[in-house]
Amino acid sequence: MKRKILLFICFILSLSIGFGIGIVAFSTENIKNSIDGLVDKDFSDGTINTEQIGQLQYFTVSLDDEIYVKNLLFNGNIHDNLDSVRVYYTDNANKEFNAQNSFFPKIIIKNDNYYLEIDKNVTAIRLELLPSDTVENIKVNPKILNIHTVNTILFTILPLVISFSAVSLIFDRESLKKDILAIKRYKYLLYELVLKDIKTKYRRSVLGLLWSVLNPLLMMIVLTAVFSNIIRVEVEGGFALFYLTGYLLFNFISESTNFSLNTILQAAQLIKKVYIPKYIFPLQKCLFSFVNMIFSLTAFVIVFTIFMIWGNVSLNSSMLLFPIPLILIFLFSLGCCFILSSLVVFFRDIGHIWGILLTVWMYASPIIYPISILPDWLVSAIKLNPLYYYIDMFRNIMIYGRIPAFADFIIALLFSVASVLVGTVIFRKCQDKFVMYI
């Protein structure tokens, strides 16, 4: 009875949090912007610099500082065709433009406004138009169109999931506490198990540790060749680093979940004959993959250094935040490992299904493509994918030197917490039955 009331309260609370945030974000643009920690900049006061050179018109707006601009919008009129609009941008302080830093943006027309997708860190932007076109009231802002629905959904569902699993765990707190405290006694075991995994991995292959660095590097070289020369995907900071960051994080999820599929079955001998808190085993695989990922980050360091010498990227203080996305993705993956490792004991074919799901998941995550090349509805769909938030956060911090948007950080955090809690609930429901099915 008490439990039902509690669940009901959680339900109402989550709904109100989600819709509250959604509605507020929807109705007042400015609050949404302050969630992002960034503000609109309005140039309707006449600070637009207009020039005519030859057959073309140029409209330049200049920002005080370098800021991240998601969209540029203006009212005016484009007579001929939208494809003739070209955007120059610069991120250096003296605000010089060159043809290299220019592109033909995606343009959306809404309520007589032209929305141009910029998605860059800039100090100044210049529009190139045909003489017949007119431009007034330029505004730049960090908003992403149509994001409100996604946020509303996530801010409703995630708190709902979190509170429901938390309630379930609270009613089970005595034995939960016992299980968690057991880690004290079994920390050496966990350490031995992870060490054993690492030793067997690096003992088996001749290249050893080198392999976990070479593997991502080779993948990166091949895909960079394909994507930046043949398919021509334009990505800020170059495709190589962009791909490498996404690959490393996705590889962690894929490796840890795949390893933990068999972990309980492999530990059958131990589980059947001695008491060991069973969560040790998925935790072991997740930690092992995490260590692997840390090794592989060497590849990132190498490529980053090369690019730094070339001058494409530079060191930034935001890089100090790097543990945050890594810890968050670790927690998220741990939850997945809990769920998979327990379900597979009862249904052995989950392994095959998971293999297929992972492939789908990979293409549904912005690893080999930036979301800026996608239509709006797809962007919204991808923003329901938890991996998007971890990868985006990691890239922002490591490549672009940007502090991630606050709302995105909160969503990533919620995803991690939800995953761990749901995983714990499912695992604890199953763990007493393992012994009879292995």
Partner 1 sequence: MDNNIAIEVKNVTMRFNMPHEKVDNIKEFFIKLLKGQLRFEEFVALDNVSLTVKKGDVVGLIGLNGSGKSTLLKVISGILKPSSGTAEISGTISPLIELGAGFDFELTTKENIFLNAAVLGFDRNFITQKYDEILDFAELRDFENVAIKNFSSGMIARLGFSIATLVKPDILIVDEILAVGDFIFQQKCEKRISELMMGGTTVLFVSHSIEQVERICKTVCWIEHGKVKMIGPAKEVTEIYKNTKA
What contacts 1, CB < 8 A, 6 or more positions away?
Answer: none
Least distance (Å) from partner 1 to the CB of residue 428?
11
CB 282 within 8 A of CB 338: yes
- Considering beta carbons, is residue 79 or 272 the nearer one to partner 1? 272
| Closest approach of partner 1 to the CB of residue 275, in Å | 4
Q: Which of residues 9 and 353 has its CB atom nearest to partner 1 in the complex?
A: 353
Furthest CA-CA distance within the chain: 85
If the CB atoms of residues 30 and 269 are measured against partner 1, the closer one turns out to be 269
Residue (223 or 264) nearer to partner 1, CB: 264
Query: Rounded CA gap, 107 and 399, in Å?
Result: 27
Q: State the nearest-atom distance from the C-beta of 429 to partner 1, in Å.
A: 12
DSSP-assigned letters across all residues of 38-75: ---EE-TTS--EEEEETTEEEEEEEEEEEEEEEEEEEE
The residue ranges that bind partner 1 (CB under 8 A) are: 185-186, 188-189, 191-193, 196, 269-276, 346-350, 353, 432, 435-437
DSSP for residue 208: T
β-strands 134-141, 41-42 pairing = antiparallel
Helix (H) or strand (E) holding 242: helix 239-266
Q: How far is the CB of 432 from partner 1 (least distance, A)?
A: 4
Closer to partner 1 by Cβ: residue 111 or 269:
269
Question: How far is 17 from 11, CA to CA, in rounded Å?
Answer: 10
Q: How many angstroms separate the Cα of 228 from the Cα of each of 99, 117, 291?
A: 18, 20, 31
Q: Shortest approach of partner 1 to residue 276 CB, angstroms?
A: 6
Q: What whole-number distance in Å separates Cα of residue 401 and Cα of residue 230?
A: 28
Q: Quick one: 182 or 358, whose CB is closer to partner 1?
A: 182
Shortest reach from residue 285's CB to partner 1, in Å? 16
